[in-house]
Structure 1
Amino acid sequence: MPELLRIYKRLRKYLVILLCLYLTGAMFPGCRSVFLGLLLGTAVSLFNLWLMVKKTLAVTDVSSGKKRVSLGTGMRMATAVLAVAVALRFPDLFHLLAVVIGVMTSYLVIMIDFFVGLLQQRKK
């Protein structure tokens, strides 16, 4: 299994755990819109991560013979804009800032995972 898929599975696990925590937090009525916003944004972030991995594997696949130049950046931006549009359409249900933070969650998780990996390599 390529290293990229191992990293993706690990990051996916972290994001699913965060989604479960946000879903649990959404059960409390006081801050429901914040947790629903985080839930929506992180779900979009997980989809964007999956799309990025899929496109990266397709671009690096030299055996197919097709030349691919796109990593799907436009599609990932469109899904983020769609999530923000949903938050703007239903402001009583989704907190806008929480959706934006949720969309950035996978990038934060990637950075944290990278620095944890560096610390583990130093210890060896």
Structure 2
Amino acid sequence: MQQMFLRQQKYIFYLLSLYTLGWGFTSYKTVFLSLILGTVISLFLLWSLVRKVEKFGRAVAQGKKARSLGTFSRLAAAVLAAAIAIEYPQYFSIIPVTIGLMTSYTVIIIDFLLHKNK
């Protein structure tokens, strides 16, 4: 699980570097800044999910009662990203923020497809 997360984190950092270059060198600053915001929160959500799945797995293996995977906290982080985009429309746009929030799921799917045969 940790190796998979590190691989996915690396891919997301590559995307973030591309978004940063796009923000710095194009006239689409709002779009790229929104993608950066959504992707950073998406990375945080991925990290949080991996951490909670590991705790969940340890609790199940030890026969202890397992807590939830933190759906509410992840939903709250996504709402925070949307609230920031709505509050500061001169810097952010809601559609690219939403696309950025979905980045980790896209990376997970691509990572699975690349490594399913290994």
Query: TM over 0.5, yes or no?
Result: yes
Q: CA deviation at 1:88?
A: 0.3
Q: Which residue, out of 16, 21, 28, partners 1:19?
A: 16
- Structure 1: any 5+ residue segments left out of the alignment? none
**2-structure distance, mates of 1:111, 1:29:** 29
Task: Report the TM-score when normalising by structure 2.
Answer: 0.92
The one-letter amino acid of 2:72's match is: G
**1-structure distance, mates of 2:111, 2:70:** 23
- Could you say if the C-alpha distance between residues 90 and 29 of structure 1 is closer, same or farther in structure 2, counting changes exceeding 3 Å? farther
1:87 equivalent in structure 2:
85
**2-structure distance, mates of 1:95, 1:104:** 15
Task: Report the TM-score when normalising by structure 1.
Answer: 0.88
| 1:37 equivalent in alignment to 2:34 | yes
Q: CA deviation at 1:10?
A: 0.2
1:104 equivalent in structure 2:
102
| 1:8-52 deviation digits (Å, cap 9, x = unpaired) | 000000001111111111113510000000000000000000000
1:53 equivalent in structure 2:
50
**1-structure distance, mates of 2:90, 2:83:** 13
**2-structure distance, mates of 1:29, 1:53:** 34
Aligned length: 117
Percent sequence identity over aligned pairs:
45
Query: C-alpha root-mean-square deviation of aligned residues, in Å?
Result: 1.6
**2-structure distance, mates of 1:108, 1:25:** 20
